[in-house]
Amino acid sequence: MKWSVTAWEAAAPVFERIKALPFIRELAAGTLPYRKFLYYLGQDSIYLKEYGQLMSVMASRFDEPDNSRLFMKFAGDNLDSEKALHESYSACDGAEASPTTLFCMSHLRHQVTEEPLEVALASVLPCFTVYEKAGKFIYENAVTEGNPYRAWIEMYGGDTFDDSTERLLELCDEYAVRASSGMRDRMTLAFREGVESEWKFWNSAYLAV
């Protein structure tokens, strides 16, 4: 069985908690208070800047030029489209990072800069897979007519990021095949911790304001 399959099985209970979050449910229904959504966007903008930098760091860690180019693409195209959507909602540029955002950024930076490449790969994967799966879940359960978050729902519920997610999954599996069983276990733990971070991020955005 592919590593990506077993890793998702390990993280699946956390994803069920993500689907049950009030933030997710109310976003789909269009009833999420706008102040909570704007707060989330402000925190997400801060996180994305850090995430884009870490994608560049990841690019520098590969010996294979194709993999380096892949991560430079991740640092550019996908983040640019997300930032454009943030601007369309007029997210506050002066937002300050919350304790949860600071924790998520610090944890991921450590994984990317200090851990073996296999673990670093597994650590950046949740941002791709969770948003893809959560976006489709929201889209399938959304009330789109009159929903103020329709643009966000349609963006994340579409296939915009499918190719990038699939390529990253393949790359993680390629490295996992060559890794020891102990390293694969570390990859799985890092992936699950990353999914936990996504839960913490959305939950804190709902509770903060």
Residue 94: how many CB atoms within 10 A of its CB? 5
C-alpha distances (whole Å) from 55 to each of 23, 25, 125 are: 27, 30, 11
> Residue-wise pLDDT tens for the chain (209 aa)?
999 999 999 999 999 999 999 999 999 999 999 999 999 988 988 888 899 899 999 999 999 999 999 999 988 865 666 666 566 665 556 789 999 999 999 999 999 999 999 999 999 999 999 999 999 999 999 998 999 999 889 888 877 667 889 999 999 999 999 999 999 999 999 999 999 999 999 999 999 98
Look at the chain and report how many structural domains it folds into. 1
Instruction: Supply the range of the domain harboring residue 135.
Output: 3-208
Angle of CA points 197, 110, 208, to nearest 5° = 35
How many angstroms separate the CA atoms of 112 and 155, rounded? 27
Q: Give the residue from 111, 119, 116, 122 showing the smallest Cα distance to 54.
A: 111
- Describe the crossing of helices 34-60 and 22-29 by its angle, rounded to 10 degrees: 110
DSSP E strands in the chain: the ranges are none
How many angstroms separate the CA atoms of 82 and 3, rounded? 28
pTM of the full structure: 0.92
Give CA 165 to chain center in angstroms: 10
Q: What CATH number has the domain bearing residue 59?
A: 1.20.910.10
